[in-house]
Structures are given as C-alpha cells and as structure tokens.
Structure 1
Amino acid sequence: MPAASDAAAAWLARADPDRGHADRWMRSVGLVLLPLGIRWCAVKTHEHEGLAAAAEIDGPVIHDPGGRTVYFLVPVSAGRTWDCPHTEMLGLACWLGTPAPDRLEPPGTYWVRPPDGSGLLVDPQALHAAIIGRASYRVWIGHTAQCATCRAGTSCVTAAKLGRAWRDARQ
C-alpha cells in the first residue's frame, strides 16, 4: 500500500479492539468487519441518494453495490441527534464491512472517498443538507411529472412552492 493508504489503514485499524486483526484482514482479504459507535458511527442510505450526497460532501464514504447501500463515516456525537428521513444511523452494537483504503472500485464493497488517515469524518450537518435537498428535489420533480398544469406549461402554485422548498434546503 502507498504511504497515504498505510496511514488510512492504521487509522481504520484503531477502531478494531485487535489492531493486528484489522491489519491482517485488510491486507489478505481487502475487507475487515469493524465495530461502530466507538471511534465513529455510520449513516446508511440507499445507493442513489447516497452517491448523489457523496458528490457534495467531504469525508470517508463506502459503497456496497451488492447491498445497494452507501455508508458515511460520521462522528459518534452525530449518533445522539441524527434525524434524517431515508437514512439509518448505525452505532454501538453495529459492525460495518470496511474495505481496505486502496479498494477504490468494484467488485465488492469499495471506497467512494477513502479516509486520509487524519481522522476527518463526514460533517453530519452537510450530509443532512445534501440528503434533504435531494429528497426535496425528488418531490418537486415527481409533482411536475404528474401535474396536468405543470405538463401544460402553465404556472403551478404547488410546483413553485416545492421548487422554493428545494432551493431553501440547498442553502
């Protein structure tokens, strides 16, 4: 592994009660099961929403194409207050299949954005805004596709309100 990957691997291994265990699994299999809720938690989303949100935020993000899910590594403190539709906070008593830092593409679970070894995690507020913004956009687009007024190209009060809500969620 390159030096950056070594630093990230060491950072990840610190989450395992047995650092040697984590190191062996990352090097031999490319994946290790790590406990959550001690060094970080993970926000689980559906892959479409997750990949779109990942494009807007910084910090470590995992994609599991087989499970069609995306995981964002967030501070443990976020687990106490997280409230975001279409997501699940994974903390204590949860484990996450975590790829080696140099696993950056399929097959299998891989990093959309690997850790850099510094301890940087995803900012929960930025993640929340990205997910809520996407949900607001989906509602707005869904309305315009179904509304006869919108399809006719006429001004629709509901579409205007939904569009404002989406723009407000993005700010």
Structure 2
Amino acid sequence: MPAPSARPMQQAGQAWLLSCAPDPAAVRSAWELEQFAQIPTGAHWLVAEAPLVRSVQATRRIPPDRLGPVLGDVHRDVAWWLLPADAAQELDDIRQIVVHPAGWILSCPPVLHSLEGRWWVEPPDGTGQLTDPSSLGAAFGPGGRPSREAFG
C-alpha cells in the first residue's frame, strides 16, 4: 500500500501560514507571482536564524512532537526556525543561533514548493506546532543531543 500523500498536510500548513499573516491576500498574491511573501514575526511566532547544515542536522535530533517549521535557503546557507512568541531570550547562550525580535520580516516561499533556493526543510503541518526552544538549544549545544531535562 503506498504511503499517504504529503500534499494535504502541506496544504494545511500553507493555510496555517496564511492565517499568521496580517494580510493573507497579499501573501497569496506574492506567491501567485512566484515571489516571497513578507510575514512579520511576533504575533504568532518568532524566528531563530542558524546555519543551514547545522539546522538540517538538528531537525533529526529534535523529537517530532517538539519540532516545528524550519525554512532553509541554500544560497544564503541559513535556516529560520519558527519558535513560540515568548521564546526571545531562551536561546541567548547559543552562539550559532540569533533570535530576531518581534516585527522582523520573514520572506517566505509557499509551503507547497520551493522558490529561488528557499524551501521548507520542515514544513508547517497546519496544527500551529512550533519548535521547542529548549530542544533546539540542546540540539545545537555540546554533543548536539537533547538531554532528558529538555523534555520536561
């Protein structure tokens, strides 16, 4: 029996991302023109910026129930992690990660396909699940594996 298609989950993820935008119609228009949509952070989530390769490796170290959307850009060698809006200081001691303040603009491709080398390494699934900052910090910290304390 073939595996279920990821398309319905991607569509739900795209609908969720649209719901996070102050102007969903402008986001849709940008995507229809094959342009990045400009979505400000703060109201629904913050963004942590980190090196792309380390980020891809970290996605395999974070349990699925603590992993949220991750956007990657191969041309800039960077990834952006979507975090809870109250996570601003939780990653201050991890030097490879910079948490952008509320109001910072994330240039997003659609969830359904990549655009100019930018794609959803871990796409939104429509549930609103965001990456747990403690798990992200542990995945980037010494040893690169979350400790039992990171899971509460």
In 1: Cα distance, 2:35 partner to 2:61 partner: 27
CA offset digits 1:20-69 (Å, max 9, x no partner): 11122223316311101111011100122212112222221111111110
1:24 corresponds, among 16, 24, 29, to 29
Q: What TM-score do the two structures reach when normalised by structure 2? A: 0.79
1:41–1:74: 8 Å Cα contact kept in structure 2? yes
Give the secondary structure class of the aligned counterpart of 2:39: strand
In 2: Cα distance, 1:28 partner to 1:75 partner: 30
1:9 corresponds, among 14, 23, 31, to 14
Q: For 1:67-82, list aligned pairs within 5 A.
A: 67-82=76-91
In 1: Cα distance, 2:79 partner to 2:120 partner: 10
Give the secondary structure class of the aligned counterpart of 1:67: coil
1:110 corresponds, among 100, 119, 122, to 119
The aligned length equals 137
CA offset digits 1:99-129 (Å, max 9, x no partner): 211125x751001110001101111111010
Amino acid of the residue matched to residue 64 of structure 1? D
In 1: Cα distance, 2:116 partner to 2:58 partner: 22
2:90–2:134: 8 Å Cα contact kept in structure 1? no
Q: For 1:133-152, list aligned pairs within 5 A.
A: 136=142
Greater Cα radius of gyration, structure 1 or 2: 1
Q: For 1:28-107, list aligned pairs within 5 A.
A: 28-29=33-34, 31-57=36-62, 58-83=67-92, 84-103=94-113, 107=116
Q: RMSD of aligned C-alpha atoms?
A: 2.2
Q: What TM-score do the two structures reach when normalised by structure 1? A: 0.71
Give the secondary structure class of the aligned counterpart of 1:49: helix
Unpaired segments of 5 or more residues in structure 1? 137-165
Write out the 4+ residue segments of structure 1 that deviate beyond 4 Å after TM superposition: none
**Relative contact order: is structure 1 or structure 2 higher (C-alpha 8 Å, sep ≥ 6)?**
2
In 2: Cα distance, 1:22 partner to 1:35 partner: 11
Partner of 1:145: none
Structure 2 CA distance for partners of 1:115 and 1:13, relative to 1, 3 Å: same
